[in-house]
A and B are shown apart, each in its own frame.
Chain A
């Protein structure tokens, strides 16, 4: 993971309250999220850039809380 990243890909399914560790960052899942999906590591405001691999993969389309599922329902790419 890149230090700039504000999302991480889950290597296992998580449920509400499950503790997640991503390169030393610890947080709790606030909704059930499947393996392979992304979870927010920090709060991301609408319009704020979503980083993976240290690069821009899109922007939040609504407020995203840490531990929340990040996918097509709350982020989009460059239009």
Chain B
């Protein structure tokens, strides 16, 4: 590690720094998915986000959807955005534009029912996107440091080595990042069940401790509601096959990604941190929904550990993939950026942590991660109820 924590990024009107300068074409509703997909085929340089939500949701889920989509547009990696709606959905283009009124980045909206149907809308969005891409290309970069970074922490497809190699190595990188002024978000509340003790020991004060306890107790109750007597094994088949026996065992490994810094804030899904340092977000354990919530909160990069081999990336934020074992790193070199399995063959957690932090800075300077190269984008918004 050179000790150089600087990079050139894009300063957004709200003051935050982007490490990418994406032109985002966002569907506000499932009914606009075909149009944004078509724009993506015509202009591969834009980033397209679609999702399966639209009508049939109650207030809390409409709120989650609105906050998440608005947060994604506000994410500092987005230089400008075009929102495509249908015209009769609850989370409409107009609604999103009203929520985003204070955000001064280039933002446009179009409604299929008013623009002449799908093909005419796609043609219009293509023209708007070409113009926006040209505008973004002229945006200057300025000097920034790791203190400007908010990093999302995630694990997907964990194994028994995750808690011995990849997760604690990420924890070392997070300790360094926090010490130099950056922010990291630890999430996946399902994967905190059984790990309350070590989390409480890191709570900055009694209010944080109480919030953590309430958040995890609530998730445990939901897990019992859904899984009944199998709640202690809220695990994926691959987790069990790899040797993880209970959710507590998985959780205790999972939380090591947060390192040893004090937990300074507990956030609801998709909400931006107001504190620097290590913060916790209440998200499902389901990785696609969890990373979407952290990106909506402004994370510019995602550090994602895996034991089984998840290829998941994210449309607007680079995902750094860390393997818990060398066999996986070698078997899926197309998808994995860092081999934390080296901890089992003599490297220290600190050394692998340095490798991860070093890569994070290189990614902030523009180096593409494997998931970015593969465009293995996943995007999913957490919901609390089934559709009506």
Contacts and interface: CB of A to CB of B under 8 A. Distances in A.
Nearest to A71: B245
Interface residues of A, number: 21
Interface stretch (B55-63, B177-185, B191-199): B191-199
B164 A55 contact: no
Interface in A2-56: 9, 11, 34, 36-38, 50, 52-53, 55-56
Interface size class of B (residues with CB under 8 A): 20 to 34
B164 A9 contact: yes
A9 B243 contact: yes
B243 A71 contact: yes
A58 interface: yes
B169 interface: no
Interface string B130-141: 000000000000
Interface stretch (B83-91, B248-256, B259-267, B313-321): B248-256
Nearest to B249: A57
18 contacts: A9-B243, A36-B159, A36-B161, A36-B243, A36-B325, A38-B245, A52-B249, A55-B248, A56-B194, A57-B194, A58-B246, A58-B248, A71-B240, A76-B233, A76-B245, A77-B232, A79-B231, A79-B232
Interface of B: 159-161, 163-164, 194-195, 197-198, 229, 231-233, 240, 242-243, 245-249, 252-253, 325, 344
Task: For the complex of A and B, list the 10 residue pairs with the smallest distance between their C-beta atoms, beginning with the closest.
Answer: A77-B232, A77-B246, A57-B249, A58-B246, A37-B243, A36-B243, A9-B160, A57-B248, A36-B160, A53-B252
A9 B161 contact: yes
Contact of B246 (A9, A34, A37, A76): A76
Given A36-B159, A36-B160, A77 B252 contact: no
B229 A79 contact: yes
A3 to B, nearest CB: 16
Interface string A53-79: 101111000000000001110011111
Nearest to B344: A11
B190 to A, nearest CB: 13
Contacts of A38: 160, 243, 245
B323 to A, nearest CB: 13
Contacts of A75: 245-246
B253 A53 contact: yes
B287 to A, nearest CB: 20
